[in-house]
Amino acid sequence: LANRLDHFSDSVIRRMTRIANQYQAINLSQGFPDFDPPKSLIDALKQAADDGPHQYEITWGSAEFRRLLAKKQQKLMNIDINPDENVLVTCGSTEAMMCAVMTVCNPKDKVIIFSPFYENYGADAILSDATPIYVPLIPPTFEFDKQQLRQAFEQGAKALILCNPSNPCGKVFTKAELDYISQLAIEFDAFIITDEVYEHMVYAPHQHLYLANFPNMKERTICCSSLSKTYSITGWRLGYIIADKKIIDGCKMIHDFLTVGAAAPLQKAACAGLALGEDYYQQLIQTYTDKRHLFLSGLDDIGLTYYEPQGAYYVLVDISEINPFNTDFEFCEWLIREVGVAAVPGSAFFKHPEYRYIRFHFAKQEPTLIAALERLSKLK
């Protein structure tokens, strides 16, 4: 078999879900909600089952989906978005990120990835025959060292992958940090590929800023995102790229041959989400603010050490004082079997062997979170 298979493993995040299911543990590993999307989306899905479309959509995404998405994102991102020129609908942000990396990288090109990182990015780079350069985000604040980032660009990086808000550490990049990143991108003529799937999950007083509207960044920012988290439809696999026409034209070519297109009836139904008004997003952040409060207070009561997330719906817990095993993976297996709660071993997100952390997500209904906390109280 091909050598590239030697350079990455299956996803540990998704492996944890399989193990959690096997033991019927409460699954706080792979991040997805245990509640339904808004009713208007479910109704629209039923309608799509009756009325179609059931055949291929236009490869770039349905015209209505792109129109509604461009309208919504234009307001948020404060840039002009032409639905025909600047938008590509993909099978989740997973495909969006893969398309973006393949569109800008030649074999052996270097791609900067902040560590900890969402595990797909390493595989995205490797599958594109590019070479990742990891730059640490340093706990407890998860700031990067400016000099270290500059040195990574000096190695001739073609692109940097920016997950903001960050999975797994919950960091929301500040204006000063984004200014610095964009200055380096311009100085070294590099692309920034953003993963902004948690753009609507940023906790006050933190604020989500889109790199695409920083000065001179529109032509080098490839904004990847998804409907999965925003509308609680992770299984619908709907994502997108917003970028300059030249970049989107390239991404369209890759997408055309990778997947042909996202599922037509689901694109149709998801338009009901894209058409929702401002109050939906306010309600969403309120819901997640409450879940975050519930879960973090529970961790406080148990006495576990964690890093407070500024955005997204994950929390890294430090297990160094309570882990009797050699690795975080063994700890997580034990946690599933003996405690009945699934987490992701932190080493899945760090470049260098790092067994201090496990990651929980709190995108679950209150009773699920309370039951998980009750079980976790055995840890202390």
Pick between residue 111 and residue 344 the one whose CB is nearest to ligand GLN. Answer: 344
Reduce the DSSP state of residue 365 to 3 states and report it: coil
Q: Is 194 in the site for ligand GLN (CB under 6 A)?
A: no
Q: Which residues pair with 220 in a beta bridge?
A: none
Smallest gap from Cβ 243 to ligand GLN, in A, equals: 21
Smallest gap from Cβ 282 to ligand GLN, in A, equals: 23
Number of residues that bind ligand GLN (CB under 6 A): 7
Pick between residue 168 and residue 273 the one whose CB is nearest to ligand GLN. Answer: 168
Smallest gap from Cβ 349 to ligand GLN, in A, equals: 9
* 337/334 Cα distance (integer angstroms): 5
Q: Nearest-CB residue to ligand GLN? A: 31
Smallest gap from Cβ 312 to ligand GLN, in A, equals: 9
Smallest gap from Cβ 25 to ligand GLN, in A, equals: 15
Residue with tokens 């975080």: 328
Smallest gap from Cβ 361 to ligand GLN, in A, equals: 6
Q: Which residues pair with 205 in a beta bridge?
A: none
Quick one: which of 13, 202, 224, 373 contacts ligand GLN (CB under 6 A)? Answer: 13
Q: Is 30 in the site for ligand GLN (CB under 6 A)?
A: yes
Fill in the amino acid letter for 5. L
Pick between residue 70 and residue 161 the one whose CB is nearest to ligand GLN. Answer: 161
Residue with tokens 């576990």: 304
Pairing of strands 314-318, 305-307: antiparallel
Pick between residue 27 and residue 182 the one whose CB is nearest to ligand GLN. Answer: 27
Cβ proximity of 92 and 119 under 8 Å = no
Q: Is 146 in the site for ligand GLN (CB under 6 A)?
A: no
| Helix 264-274, helix 63-77: angle, nearest 10 | 40
Nearest 10 degrees: Cα torsion 315, 319, 325, 330: 0
Smallest gap from Cβ 30 to ligand GLN, in A, equals: 4
Cβ proximity of 166 and 143 under 8 Å = no
Quick one: which of 27, 86, 90, 94 contacts ligand GLN (CB under 6 A)? Answer: 94
Q: Is 14 in the site for ligand GLN (CB under 6 A)?
A: yes
Pick between residue 28 and residue 149 the one whose CB is nearest to ligand GLN. Answer: 28
Q: Residue 226's closest CA among 198, 264, 260?
A: 198
| Residue 239 DSSP label | E
Q: Is 272 in the site for ligand GLN (CB under 6 A)?
A: no
Pick between residue 128 and residue 167 the one whose CB is nearest to ligand GLN. Answer: 167
Pick between residue 27 and residue 86 the one whose CB is nearest to ligand GLN. Answer: 27
Quick one: which of 20, 31, 96, 323 contacts ligand GLN (CB under 6 A)? Answer: 31
Quick one: which of 86, 103, 167, 194 contacts ligand GLN (CB under 6 A)? Answer: 167
Q: Which residues pair with 240 in a beta bridge?
A: 89, 225
Q: Which residues pair with 317 in a beta bridge?
A: 306, 358
CA distances from 57 to 66, 82, 90, 180 (A): 12, 19, 12, 40
Reduce the DSSP state of residue 250 to 3 states and report it: helix
Smallest gap from Cβ 378 to ligand GLN, in A, equals: 24
Pick between residue 123 and residue 274 the one whose CB is nearest to ligand GLN. Answer: 123
* 318/354 Cα distance (integer angstroms): 11
Fill in the amino acid letter for 85. E
* 233/270 Cα distance (integer angstroms): 9
Pick between residue 7 and residue 14 the one whose CB is nearest to ligand GLN. Answer: 14
Distance of CA 19 to the CA centre of its chain: 22
Which residues inside 99-138 make contact with ligand GLN, applying CB under 6 A? 118
Q: Which residues bind ligand GLN (CB under 6 A)?
A: 13-14, 30-31, 94, 118, 167
